[in-house]
Amino acid sequence: MEPWMIVLIVIASIILFLFLFGILPFYIIAEKVYRKQLIRRNKEMWGRACSAPDNVEQVQMYEIGEAWGEENKEYGVDCEITSYDGLHLVGRYFDFGNKKCAIIHQGRTESLLYTYYFAKPYKEAGYNILVIDPRAHGLSDGKHSTAGIKEAKDLLRWTRLVHDKFHNEEVFYHGICIGSATCLNAITSKDCPSYVTGLCVDGMFKSFHATMKTHMIAEGAPVASFLAYLVMLAIFFHTGSNQLRIKPERQIKKLTKPILMIHSKEDIFSLPKYATYLYNLCKSDKKFVWFDKGAHSHIRINNQEEYDNAIKTFLKERNLWNMPLWQWM
């Protein structure tokens, strides 16, 4: 056997050994994480129920949101769209007789009932409201969550619905957690309509890899960064969604519309240092409001008046409110 052939065999053997005993075991773990966290296994999973019934604040948010929905049910109508890849998606539109609409987009595991909780300041600012069951959540079809990538395409279809069918002249986005990334991906898309006027993001992460890593660290997982990269690989294999290419730290550089960034100093999943990093990357009209108290996605439950005023003040400062000036005083 020629010497060069022996060298090739040795190199190939080393690569195979490293794959079988180095990368492959970790990928199997990452695949399990992916299937547990990002695949809906039945209709009850990620349904229209409180996602964390043991969390006191989460239960309070649901109860307050459900009360808002009951109080405003006479204004609500069920609506639906078909996604670009054929999924039946459902939502609920609240028509308060205005010409502007706020679309509220939540994070993973949450249905539209969760987003009722965030509707109050937008109603007070003179907006109609659209809340949705994202793909693979609530009553909508779907199996896979893509953490804001395919969901952004869905959001653009919802945007056109509230404009074309319900005759809203302007649309404003509000995103929480993964919903923030969804809204940012949508508003920076080349397909985003000009009547989308801006967005508010609550607890936005710099990348899904980064927030996956912080979750793994919090749970004591070894080599969290490497495992998180392998989960991103699993997402790509299953859905074709490239989380390493489409991520807030890249998309925010493309933003041309006004953005309000809301963040808590207590957030251990979307780290505050990365929120500052994203703010500095943004070259658009921007405003940052910090809160000292509030876990990830739980800022408003700890600072309701301040949270709502931050939104309404931002809309007022940018001529995006839809109420008589005296109502702001």
Mean pLDDT of the chain: 91
Q: Which parts of 86-128 fold into alpha helices (H)? A: 112-115, 120-124
As beta bridge partners, residue 39 has 144
Q: What is the DSSP string of 165-179?
A: TT--SEEEEEEETHH
As beta bridge partners, residue 175 has 105, 201
Is there a contact between 30 and 227 (Cβ–Cβ < 8 Å)?
yes
257 found inside a domain? yes
* Domain count within the chain: 1
Least confident of 12-21, 82-91, 95-104, 318-327: 12-21
pTM for the model stands at: 0.91
Please tell me the predicted confidence (pLDDT) of residue 215: 85
What mean pLDDT is predicted for residues 246-274?
Answer: 97
212 found inside a domain? no
Tokens at 116, concatenated: 């009722």
Cα end-to-end distance, the chain, whole Å: 88
Is there a contact between 147 and 174 (Cβ–Cβ < 8 Å)?
no
Q: Higher pLDDT residue, 8 or 170?
A: 170
Q: Which amino acid is at 225?
A: S
* Cα within 13 Å of Cα(89), Cβ side: 28
Please tell me the predicted confidence (pLDDT) of residue 328: 46
Domain residue limits at 270: 39-206+247-324
Least confident of 12-21, 171-180, 279-288, 314-323: 12-21
17 found inside a domain? no
Q: Which amino acid is at 189?
A: S
Distance CA 312, CA 317 (A): 9
101 found inside a domain? yes
141 found inside a domain? yes
Q: How many CB atoms lie within 10 A of CB 312?
A: 20
Question: What pLDDT, in 10s, does the model give residues 199-219?
Answer: 999 999 999 999 999 988 887
SS3 per residue for 206-260: CCHHHHHHHHHHHCCCCCHHHHHHHHHHHHHHHHCCCCCCCCHHHHHHHCCCCEE
CATH of the domain at 131: 3.40.50.1820
Please tell me the predicted confidence (pLDDT) of residue 329: 46
Task: Using pLDDT thresholds of 50, 70 and 90, give the confidence band for residue 22.
Answer: low
Sign of CA dihedral 230, 278, 260, 270: positive
What mean pLDDT is predicted for residues 154-182?
Answer: 98
Least confident of 80-84, 89-93, 303-307, 317-321: 317-321
Question: What pLDDT, in 10s, does the model give residues 48-64?
Answer: 999 999 999 999 999 99
Per-residue pLDDT at 288 exceeds 90: yes
Please tell me the predicted confidence (pLDDT) of residue 326: 41
Please tell me the predicted confidence (pLDDT) of residue 46: 95
What is the DSSP secondary structure assignment for residue 116, as one 8-state letter?
Answer: G
Per-residue pLDDT at 291 exceeds 70: yes
228 found inside a domain? no
What mean pLDDT is predicted for residues 188-204?
Answer: 98
Please tell me the predicted confidence (pLDDT) of residue 5: 59
Q: Could you tell me the CA-to-CA distances from 92 to 113, 116, 138 in Å, in that order?
A: 10, 10, 12
Determine the Cα angle at 228 with ends 292 and 267, to 5°.
Answer: 5
Task: Using pLDDT thresholds of 50, 70 and 90, give the confidence band for residue 6.
Answer: low
49 found inside a domain? yes
What mean pLDDT is predicted for residues 60-77?
Answer: 97
47 found inside a domain? yes
Please tell me the predicted confidence (pLDDT) of residue 220: 76
Please tell me the predicted confidence (pLDDT) of residue 8: 61
Please tell me the predicted confidence (pLDDT) of residue 43: 87
- Helix orientation angle between 208-218 and 224-239, rounded to the nearest 10 degrees: 130
